[in-house]
Amino acid sequence: MELFPVMPLEEWRATKETLHRFAQVVGKVRLAAGVRRNHWWNAPFHVTGRGLTTRPMGQVDGNPIFTIDFDFVGHQLRVAAVDGREVSFPLYGKSVAAFYAETMRTLEELGVHVEIEIPHPFDLPDGERPFAEDVEHATYDPVMATRYWQVLSQVNLVLEEFAADFSGKISPVHHFWHTFDIACTRFSEREIDQGPETDPVTREAYSREVISTGFWFGDDSFPEPAFYSYTAPEPEGLAEEPLRPDAARWVERRGSHLAVLRYADARAAPYPRVAVLEFYESAYRAGARRAGWDAGRLACPGGVTDPVLSA
């Protein structure tokens, strides 16, 4: 199939907004039932051959081991227990309220008892409205849902390829239900003191200096899909650094700068995958230079650190 198929935000905005909230329901189950990891690595989803997965959770909290998967081929939510039992229901034809009720009922049927501490969206415009009361978001276009997963799958492998060249501390490639993006983050050892006034989600996510790369599907502030990178905290002069390919640019966003390559520009390149990798590498090099990282020491071309093979 076509690499990076067309994905205009306006064609699937209603479906995206509904799916985003579906994902937040399942993500909050994941937070409640999983083991906490540094920088919230326990929270995101991971791409599968049919959609997204929470990966296994439970056990330490007294629940059976279970997994929740979004199937964007059969358009089902599947909840499976380690004893082989599985319950599924359709993703289409449901409001967020109906999806929330069905998810919680399915968990109970499998003997999973989870209490979501804050059962409403996080950092979305309707953040004060409980999931159980959201009958507004109820659009699910199966064609666009499948394409969303296909784009995630393609970007996932590009990010895996980019991640392979770094030998330092690095996150998995994962899909955040908070911001609905897929990302991979490189870390330095430099600790960042953000102060008690910063919210605890941000303090944990950015307790170390990072250079993050990823892809998002667009939002009201940037209404089109794009590949991105940022360095946090942002070093002085970052936006003066060159980016590749020529279509990439620095964009000011919330008081800092994002390196951005529009999805449309990547699709138009002679070799889209190569263009995206070139972009990620140039943005990383920009952040590493300005922040003083030893990029040479942290490199492992081709994913190899074996001194014999890499000699």
Quick check: is 42 in a domain? yes
Q: Are residues 66 and 106 in the same domain?
A: yes
E strand residue ranges, 65-193 = 66-71, 76-81, 86-90, 174-176, 181-191
Q: How many CA atoms lie within 13 A of 305 on its CB side?
A: 9
Q: Are residues 188 and 152 in the same domain?
A: yes
Q: How many CA atoms lie within 13 A of 31 on its CB side?
A: 18
Phi, psi of 86 (to 5 degrees): -145, 140
Q: Are residues 129 and 156 in the same domain?
A: no
Query: Does residue 1 carry a pLDDT above 80?
Result: no
Quick check: is 207 in a domain? yes
Quick check: is 248 in a domain? yes
Number of domains in the chain: 2
E strand residue ranges, the chain = 46-47, 51-53, 66-71, 76-81, 86-90, 174-176, 181-191, 208-216, 226-232, 249-253, 256-262
Burial of 62 from C-beta contacts in 10 A (0-12 / 13-18 / 19+)? exposed
pLDDT of residue 158: 98
> What share of the chain has pLDDT > 90, as a percent?
91
Quick check: is 311 in a domain? no
Are the beta carbons of 132 and 95 closer than 8 angstroms? no
Quick check: is 264 in a domain? yes
Among 133, 163, 187, the domain boundary falls at 133
pLDDT in tens, 162-216: 999 999 999 999 999 999 999 999 999 999 988 888 999 999 999 999 999 999 9
Q: Are residues 179 and 262 in the same domain?
A: yes
Q: Count the Cβ atoms, other than its own, within 10 Å of residue 152.
A: 20
Are the beta carbons of 89 and 100 closer than 8 angstroms? no
pLDDT in tens, 222-241: 899 999 999 999 999 999 99
Q: Are residues 100 and 196 in the same domain?
A: no
pLDDT of residue 147: 97
Among 110, 133, 156, the domain boundary falls at 133
Quick check: is 2 in a domain? no
Strands 256-262 and 181-191: unpaired
Query: Does residue 221 carry a pLDDT above 90?
Result: no
Q: Are residues 150 and 277 in the same domain?
A: yes
Among 133, 162, 183, the domain boundary falls at 133
User: Sheet of 51-53: strands edge to edge?
Assistant: 46-47, 51-53, 66-71, 76-81, 86-90
Range of the domain at 110: 9-133
Assign 2 a pLDDT band (cuts: 50, 70, 90).
confident
Q: Are residues 151 and 30 in the same domain?
A: no
Query: Does residue 311 carry a pLDDT above 90?
Result: no
Q: Are residues 155 and 295 in the same domain?
A: yes
Query: Does residue 310 carry a pLDDT above 80?
Result: no
Quick check: is 73 in a domain? yes
Q: Are residues 151 and 283 in the same domain?
A: yes
Per DSSP, what are the bridge partners of residue 51? 71
Phi, psi of 160 (to 5 degrees): -60, -40
Q: Are residues 296 and 194 in the same domain?
A: yes
Quick check: is 257 in a domain? yes
pLDDT in tens, 238-286: 999 999 999 999 999 888 999 999 999 999 999 999 999 999 999 999 9
Q: Are residues 150 and 294 in the same domain?
A: yes
Q: Are residues 107 and 155 in the same domain?
A: no
